[in-house]
Structure 1
Amino acid sequence: MKSLSGLDGAFLHLETPATPMHVASLHCFDVPPGYRKHFANEIRRQLQRRLHLAPVLLRKLAPMPLQFANPVWVEEPAPDLDWHVTELRLPEPGTRAQLEDCAGALHSQLLDRSRPLWQITVIDGLASGQKAYYVKIHHALLDGQAGVMLAKVLFDLAPQPAVAARKAKAASAAAPEAGGAAETAESAESPGMLALAAAALRHDAAQYVKLVRHLPEVVTTLAGLLGVGRGDKPAAAAAPAGKGRLGQNFAFGPKTPLNVPITGERGFAGVTLPLELLQQLAAQHEAKLNDIVLALCSGALRRYLDRHGGIPRKPLIATMPISLRSAGNTEFTTQATLSLVNLHTHLADPVRRLRAIRDAAGAVKALARTARSVIPTDFPSIGTPWLLQGLAALYGKSRLAGAIPPIANVVISNVPGPSMPLYAAGARMTDYWPLSITEHGVGLNITVMSYAGTMGFGFTTACCAVPDARELSAALLEALDELVTPPVKPPRRPPARKAAAQEVPAKTAAKTAAKTAAKTAAKKVARKVASQPAQP
């Protein structure tokens, strides 16, 4: 048995049919010339050989009696790969838009909690001749960084399978072929009621001890953030400067069409951009790559809202996950927290908007680095399922999300992904688009994943908030064009007072010239008169 962390358990208890809590990704693959293999069966065989390398895919839930605390993970030794890996074919003509709509429909469906919480759908019928598949896994199992680690296990770095996978084949040779394992192997027995209760009590006792042990550190850190530490003059002196930049992020966002109660239907659109171009923009503007991502999303939102009710005068606020994972941590669990970032959508100038976002995001990340050690990802869970499930149901039914000002208007997440090309069953992955979670009051999630010299932008939408997700992907391309080639400003006309001031010297000079000419003419006339003889 393995206890869920408090944060992982929250993703389970907050899930409703309107708010699925799984994350996913959509991939396209180029198959080599003359490829005749059945792609779905090849994927099953590959998984069969590698499940021992990714034990997270063997975990399933063992619920607590009466759900009085978080469930625990137990191992399913032989998952049914015919259920976990399914296939479908797109109707003709097999367009990119049909693929995106298919991914949105798959993302709307809840996972079966009686099985390990993941599923792959192999998609065929693309007009391009490519293969595709959509893979989803519950957020209770992992976060974005853990998902990248899982991808490195499931995929190859070359068209031919890795040596480790071939060696693993011998270990799994005694197991049935992919798809039939569940029929001949018994599932893990669920632990008894006493064992589950004891596990919950041990977990909560450990969490209470941890909270007490870290309380002095929490107090010290909070005091430093507030600049009230005794003798801490540098922190106190820096507080006012940082407070102004940080304070802009902590404000309610404006009401927009994105911020409404939602239903379970999901839409999706993906965009792939060259990573080198975005890095050049970051260097040009002395910004981070994440600042460019936020600026592009801000520009896309401005265009979308301009066509759907107008751009609010108040800037939109994004909630942005920040990883709490320490270097070298490879645990398959959620280790992240949420922060707020001002998107400065009220600024029309793209460069000025980017610089404002850069300052806002920098202040938030500085705060997160300081407070990282005291932000908990685990906490006591007894009574938590009842509380969170009740709150989730009440919040959805009450439709409060449409009545109160939104804390955040949109979720934007940027996850560093694999830098090298990946392969599945001999086919090279060309696109890596992430899909994530939308919630009541936040009907849009933009998750970005870098992969092999590209950046994949995934727009996951609640269809009742954003009927056509492709409007957003098109707006993102427009925002990129604007940032690459900022609009030329027309020359400013001089103020009226300045123009009048310029006219005064001109009039004076004209008068002086007229007087000089008059004097010269008068002198000529006088000389002419003097040279004439006097009359008798």
Structure 2
Amino acid sequence: MKQVPGLDALFLHLETPEMPMHVGALHLFELPPGFRGRWINALRKHLQARLPHAPALRRQLAELPLNLVNPVWVDVMPDLRVHVVPHTLEPGAGLAALHAEVARLHVELLPRDRPLWKFHVFEDLTPGDNGRKRVALYTQLHHAAVDGQSAVALAEVLLDLTPEPRELPAPGRRRAKQVQLGTVDQWRLALSEQAKQFIDLAKSLPASAGTLTQVAGSAAGHTLARTAKNVLARFTGAGKVASAASHSMLNLAPRTRFNVAVSATRSFASISLPLPALQAARKALGASLNDAVLYLCSTALRELLKDAGELPRKPLIAAVPVSMREAGDTSAGNQVTMTSLSLGTHIADPKKRFAHIRAATEHMKGGLGALKSLMPTDFPSIGLPWLLSTAARAWGGVAERIPPIVNLVISNVPGPNVPLYLAGARMLTNAPASIVVHGIALNVTVQTYEKHLEVGLIACGEALPEIDALAGHLRAAYDGFIELAAAD
């Protein structure tokens, strides 16, 4: 039994019917030749064997008295008939139908009286060009339990390198059952955890103060100060000079269709782009893969908004998650922070726009190292469940009135470069599906897999119903980036 850390618990307290806080992916699998029976049965059998090695799939929430502090995780054995469920599509249905199903399922909240995950299986899909049967799997995992890197670690437990599942070492003896504590024991656990967190926070203050002193004199510190000043000016009307500074310094994002209160609807699209050509192009330009991904998103968003007559004069600002996880750390839970950068969407020339993005990423890296140490993953939570749940419900009513800091989220998660298998089936694609929140109605998540860059686009269904158009612009941006490198 372990109390949910503060950063993980935020995803629980901020969840509403309009803002589900789970992540997932749409996977397409090819069944092995001669496969008989239903793949969902093979999948359940496979998961049953791997559960002892996958604690993230066995953790269930237990609230402490009065829901005054963060809940605790208890170890249980999930019922796979409830967590792995079948779906059917119309005969001949293709990728568009799968996208529509993901959009429909993504707004369904995961019940908190069981482990926070669910797998949706779609069988009887149209066979591939080689005639082999295909199935699809849409996964849901609550963000309170995993971040991008720990989800990759979970995948390493569930997936295999060959169609024949590998044998894992026998786990130690364990008894998965709900632990019942009396009220006094629950209060003792809650208060002892809070006391420990206060002590840890106090111990970190001297080091944090020294880091803040360094940051204050850095580019990151100046950026933070300008941003705070400009936000204050927008609220207080502190003159034209501050307003002009906010535009020139690019500290506030322009308001777009993405900066709205989200509804309980979603639109989803996925594309798979060849990775070798993209890697060659970005190396020719002396850039990172992340620079290339940001350029593709910038170009696609610019074209989408320009076609709709909605391209702002200021550049769009992207929120970019950054992992704080140490190398080799495969623990569950979240170790991630968030930064932001300009996408240069106001620049028409592709070469100049790419140079703008590269400069923005370098500036971001320069200030991030010191700031990462200031962002704890755990902190005292007395009163936070009530406070944050109330704030989340109220946020939808004010999200459209507050000046936006960012326009969308762009996340880049490294993945495996070899083919993987699940319950004997080969994974062909792996398109992520992430979170949108009030004020940020679009999320673009990419992950490398084998020889492809897998892109998952998810948005509020009312803010961006034509999400397929954005996917099309991404494909065109990919072609343009290859040409840009060739010309250079």
Separation of aligned partners in 2, 1:349 and 1:190:
63
**Superposed displacement of residue 455, structure 1:** 1.1
Secondary structure at 2:168's aligned position in 1? helix
| Cα distance change, pair 262–56 in 1 and its aligned pair in 2 (3 A) | same
Unaligned runs of 5+ in 1: 176-184, 228-234, 490-536
The one-letter amino acid of 2:213's match is: A
Counterpart mapping for 1:192-271 below 5 A: 192-227=182-217, 251-271=251-271
TM-score, scaled to structure 2: 0.90
Q: Is residue 134 of structure 2 the alignment partner of residue 135 of structure 1?
A: no
8 Å Cα contact 1:3-1:73 kept in structure 2: yes
8 Å Cα contact 2:281-2:486 kept in structure 1: no
**Superposed displacement of residue 381, structure 1:** 0.5
| Cα distance change, pair 62–488 in 1 and its aligned pair in 2 (3 A) | closer
Partner of 2:344: 344
8 Å Cα contact 1:316-1:343 kept in structure 2: yes
Counterpart mapping for 1:180-195 below 5 A: 187-195=177-185
Partner of 1:321: 321
Q: Is residue 153 of structure 2 the alignment partner of residue 154 of structure 1?
A: no
Unaligned runs of 5+ in 2: 128-132, 227-245
Separation of aligned partners in 2, 1:190 and 1:458:
41
**Superposed displacement of residue 375, structure 1:** 1.5
8 Å Cα contact 2:446-2:456 kept in structure 1: yes
The one-letter amino acid of 2:205's match is: L
Partner of 1:530: none
Partner of 2:119: 120
Partner of 2:90: 91
Partner of 1:429: 427
Counterpart mapping for 1:401-416 below 5 A: 401-416=399-414
Secondary structure at 2:457's aligned position in 1? strand
Q: Is residue 448 of structure 2 the alignment partner of residue 450 of structure 1?
A: yes
Separation of aligned partners in 2, 1:376 and 1:345:
33
Of 463, 467, 472, the residue aligned with 1:469 is 467
Identity of aligned residues (%): 43
8 Å Cα contact 2:281-2:485 kept in structure 1: no
What's the CA shift string for 1:199-244, capped at 9, x where partnerless?
22122211211111111111111111222xxxxxxx79x9999999
| Cα distance change, pair 226–163 in 1 and its aligned pair in 2 (3 A) | same
Secondary structure at 2:378's aligned position in 1? coil
Partner of 1:42: 42
Stretches of 4+ moved more than 4 A in 1?
238-244, 247-250, 486-489
Separation of aligned partners in 2, 1:83 and 1:409:
37
What's the CA shift string for 1:90-111, capped at 9, x where partnerless?
1122111001111111111100
The one-letter amino acid of 1:13's match is: H
The one-letter amino acid of 1:102's match is: E
Secondary structure at 1:374's aligned position in 2? coil
**Superposed displacement of residue 307, structure 1:** 2.2
Separation of aligned partners in 1, 2:153 and 2:200:
28
Secondary structure at 1:120's aligned position in 2? strand
Separation of aligned partners in 2, 1:10 and 1:294:
27
Separation of aligned partners in 2, 1:67 and 1:320:
32
The one-letter amino acid of 1:362's match is: E
8 Å Cα contact 1:74-1:190 kept in structure 2: no
**Superposed displacement of residue 25, structure 1:** 0.9
The one-letter amino acid of 1:146's match is: S
Secondary structure at 1:111's aligned position in 2? coil
Counterpart mapping for 1:28-67 below 5 A: 28-67=28-67
| Cα distance change, pair 203–313 in 1 and its aligned pair in 2 (3 A) | same
- Bigger Cα Rg: 1
Counterpart mapping for 1:382-401 below 5 A: 382-396=382-396, 398=397, 400-401=398-399
The one-letter amino acid of 1:222's match is: L
What's the CA shift string for 1:372-419, capped at 9, x where partnerless?
2222111101100011001001112x2x22222211100000011122
The one-letter amino acid of 1:193's match is: T
Secondary structure at 1:136's aligned position in 2? strand
Query: RMSD of aligned C-alpha atoms?
Result: 2.5
Separation of aligned partners in 1, 2:196 and 2:180:
23
8 Å Cα contact 1:62-1:190 kept in structure 2: no
TM-score, scaled to structure 1: 0.82
Partner of 1:502: none
Separation of aligned partners in 2, 1:135 and 1:487:
36
Secondary structure at 1:164's aligned position in 2? coil
Secondary structure at 1:132's aligned position in 2? strand
The one-letter amino acid of 1:443's match is: A
| Cα distance change, pair 2–241 in 1 and its aligned pair in 2 (3 A) | closer
Secondary structure at 1:480's aligned position in 2? helix
| Cα distance change, pair 87–352 in 1 and its aligned pair in 2 (3 A) | same
Secondary structure at 2:325's aligned position in 1? coil
What's the CA shift string for 1:248-282, capped at 9, x where partnerless?
88611111112111111111100111221221122
**Superposed displacement of residue 483, structure 1:** 1.9
Separation of aligned partners in 2, 1:242 and 1:201:
35
Partner of 2:234: none
8 Å Cα contact 1:4-1:71 kept in structure 2: yes
**Superposed displacement of residue 469, structure 1:** 1.8
8 Å Cα contact 2:320-2:409 kept in structure 1: yes
| Cα distance change, pair 451–285 in 1 and its aligned pair in 2 (3 A) | same
Separation of aligned partners in 1, 2:49 and 2:289:
37
Secondary structure at 1:380's aligned position in 2? coil
Q: Is residue 149 of structure 2 the alignment partner of residue 145 of structure 1?
A: yes
Separation of aligned partners in 1, 2:477 and 2:429:
21
Separation of aligned partners in 1, 2:224 and 2:184:
52
Separation of aligned partners in 2, 1:486 and 1:149:
35
**Superposed displacement of residue 114, structure 1:** 0.3
Partner of 1:534: none
**Superposed displacement of residue 187, structure 1:** 4.4
8 Å Cα contact 2:299-2:477 kept in structure 1: yes
Partner of 1:105: 104
Separation of aligned partners in 2, 1:380 and 1:138:
22
Secondary structure at 1:402's aligned position in 2? coil
Separation of aligned partners in 1, 2:26 and 2:249:
32
8 Å Cα contact 1:401-1:440 kept in structure 2: yes
Separation of aligned partners in 2, 1:417 and 1:338:
20
The one-letter amino acid of 2:139's match is: V
